[in-house]
Chains A and B, each alone.
Chain A
Amino acid sequence: MAAEDDGKEYRWETGYEKTWEAIKEDDDGLLDGSVAEIIQKAKRKRMLERKSNARLGMMRHIFVVIDLSECMADQDLKPTRQICTIKLLNAFIEEFFDQNPISQMGIIVMKNKRAEKVSDLTGTAKKHIKALHQVESMPCGGEPSLQNALEMAMRSLKMLPSHASREILIILGSLTTCDPGDINQTINELKEHVIQCSLISLAGEVHICKALAKATGGQFGVVLDDAHFKDLLLLHVEPPPAAAKLEPALIKMGFPHHVTGAVGQSKDAPMLAICMCHLDVPSECKLSAGGYFCPQCNSKYCELPVECKACGLTLASAPHLARSYHHLFPVAPFAELPFNAGDKNDPCYSCQRSYSASKDKNIYKCGRCLQIFCVDCDIFVHETLHMCPGCASHPSTTSQLK
């Protein structure tokens, strides 16, 4: 079926592959070196695929749908599918809000043919981590209903303004879904509202899952083991390309500055007050004088980023926006050059490691500043630092904007 769909064959239909020949022993008879090389190659390949200057959906609104049907109690992922999923999601949420600080997330669980919202769309990671903690102790049972969950997520997502990028990420353990109506209709509606649906299946490929992902422009993946599961999840940390229907807009945003609480020192000093973010949770209410004050309506918050509950203004600070800039201005991939041990080579420009013939098969050259880097720095610069140290060392190449 897949072959008809996208021209790709199933793995078992492809030609005979001698996969073991890719792994070679090094001089000491060890495999570590070549395995590490394969991993590095895969990382680089993913890096090269990333296009620069693509329009991205930066203001993301994502619903994570977690399956809690009886299949999630299976023990093929250790200790159980449920606990493994929750553990990886914890890491995912941290990473997601680290990279997309002005985005929002919500969590829905599917069990007993129902969908249940455990946390609403908000931009604070803590709430979701807490909600996940609850999910961890929930018993798994019944069948999931894909349609109910999609409908529930769609009800919230379709109300968002037109510049927001909308996504649903479903983690499905079951091979079946128990739906009240025609799911194809729901898929069409999702398409209409430009909601991207991605699925990660813990069990296997199911036609409806793949069709859903394909129709809405999402990704579909089946996990091999927990490491692969993590990889698949972390792919969703990167903001997706913006859908064509997404209307760009200028969004009004507030940048409050922090007022430290020194009560009664001057007339302007803020009065003791309870922050707006914890009003509904009386146990966590803290009376304080300091905080962030909305520049429009003067409501107080103890954390940023947040959407003002009184006037709806998005409140953020400059570093929050800066955290997302690297998605928009990525470092161009370095060129791969073969390393000749005979040549006289300077050490790696940034980490000062001298190249050795056994460890370095290739060295990497930045196309702008022409400095040479080792493979570790190449990956570090592109995955973490997001800035070429060579380019940043010369006035002519410093600015990334040009």
Chain B
Amino acid sequence: MDTSEDLTESSLLVVVLDVGLSRATTLRNDPALAGQVLEAVIAFSNAHMMMRLKNLLALVACDTETTEWIYPESKADMSDLRQQDGQHELFNELERTVRRKIAQLLKRSAGSNSKGESMLSGALGRALCYVHRMQQEERQLNARVLVVTANGQSVSQYMNFMNVFFTAQKQNVLIDVCCLGPESSLLQQGCDITGGQYFRPPQPQGLLQYLLWVFLPEPLLRNKLALPPRVKVDYRAACFCHRELVDIGFVCSVCLSIVCKFSPICTTCHTLFKTPGTLPIKPKRKKAKLV
């Protein structure tokens, strides 16, 4: 490998941590697990920083109420930085910042008892803005995003998620997902679109091991490793009326919303359609092909 290139290249990892984790059903039975997840993420972040001198890290957290920027802090207090227990100062600072801010976030959201979805798309949006800024500041920067979440079923944020995925694809940013909850087809699509790795650890207790195994290697190295195979992604569309997956549906030509049965009025944009009498226009198009 070319060593000179090695020194100039840096890789940015943005970890998006969904701390709405503790509310997910798989983790509710075992409250200690949420703590373990945090430990694992911090250790994994340190491991990423250790890989190369110029590696960068950022961490965004989200829960059902809000998203919070955790690391790096814009006005970090570096004055009382000193070694403790032989740990590298930077790692120490990272760990303390993350713990302090996550605790703040949890305290704030402890009062509210909303059962909604995590604001994952907002956190991803902030992550991509940060990547955009860093890409402008730094010449050679490989960036990727790792999402650690337990609830990825976010139907109401579908459009936001899709915008995030397409933006990431344009920016050349991989989105990796470590899913601790039930399978999420939306996040699977995101991984497939951006070329990232989707993985659902069979045993959340061993999270750190899985993180180091699957998500630590850089994208360039990944095809040389034996990683979990790509999941098969279902790209079928869900109709807007019943949220069911459809094979053949009707699409409104004005707003592109999908319905499973013909209806004379579009529910999204309130356009009036002519009765099915106009539908047999279809053969005309075939004629156009022949001409």
Contact = CB atoms under 8 A, between A and B. Distances in A.
Asked if A and B are interacting partners, one says: yes
Interface of A: 55-56, 58-59, 121, 155-156, 159-164, 242, 247-258, 260, 295-296, 307, 312-313, 316-319, 321-326, 328-329, 346-354, 376-377, 380-381, 384-395, 398-401
B241 to A, nearest CB: 12
Interface stretch (B4-12, B43-51, B198-206, B229-237): B229-237
Contacts of B32: none
Contacts of A312: 282-283, 285-286
A159 B285 contact: yes
Contact of B251 (A160, A247, A321, A349): A321
Interface stretch (B80-88, B115-123, B176-184): B115-123
B268 to A, nearest CB: 7
A27 to B, nearest CB: 21
22 contacts: A58-B255, A159-B288, A160-B284, A250-B263, A251-B250, A255-B236, A295-B248, A307-B285, A316-B237, A325-B162, A347-B74, A351-B126, A351-B130, A352-B69, A352-B74, A353-B74, A385-B125, A389-B67, A389-B122, A393-B123, A393-B125, A399-B156
The 3 closest A-B pairs by CB, nearest first: A393-B122, A392-B122, A389-B125
Contacts of B254: 55-56, 58, 242, 248
A350 B288 contact: no
Contacts of B246: 255
Nearest to B68: A393
Nearest to B240: A401
Interface in B237-270: 237-238, 245-256, 258-259, 262-263, 266, 268-269
B29 interface: no
Given A159-B287, A253-B248, A296-B248, A248 B253 contact: yes
A155 B74 contact: no
Interface SS of chain B: helix, strand, loop or mixed? mixed
B197 interface: no
Nearest to B247: A295
A400 B129 contact: no
Interface stretch (B141-149, B163-171, B207-215, B219-227): B163-171
B145 to A, nearest CB: 13
Nearest to A354: B74
Contacts of A329: 159
A378 to B, nearest CB: 10
Interface residues of B, number: 80
A319 to B, nearest CB: 6
A248 B273 contact: yes
Contacts of B249: 252-253, 255
Contacts, number: 225
A351 B132 contact: yes
A247 B288 CA distance: 19
A125 B192 CA distance: 21
A287 B90 CA distance: 55
A318 B287 contact: no
B126 A248 contact: no
B160 A400 contact: yes
B271 A248 contact: yes
Interface in B50-72: 62, 64-67, 69, 72
A253 B236 CA distance: 11
A401 B247 contact: no
Given A156-B291, A256-B247, 17 more contacts: A55-B254, A58-B255, A159-B287, A160-B284, A250-B266, A253-B248, A321-B256, A322-B162, A326-B163, A350-B126, A350-B129, A351-B133, A380-B132, A389-B126, A391-B122, A394-B66, A395-B114
B107 interface: no
Given A160-B285, A160-B288, A250-B250, A392 B193 contact: no
Nearest to B253: A163
A154 B63 CA distance: 54
B105 to A, nearest CB: 12
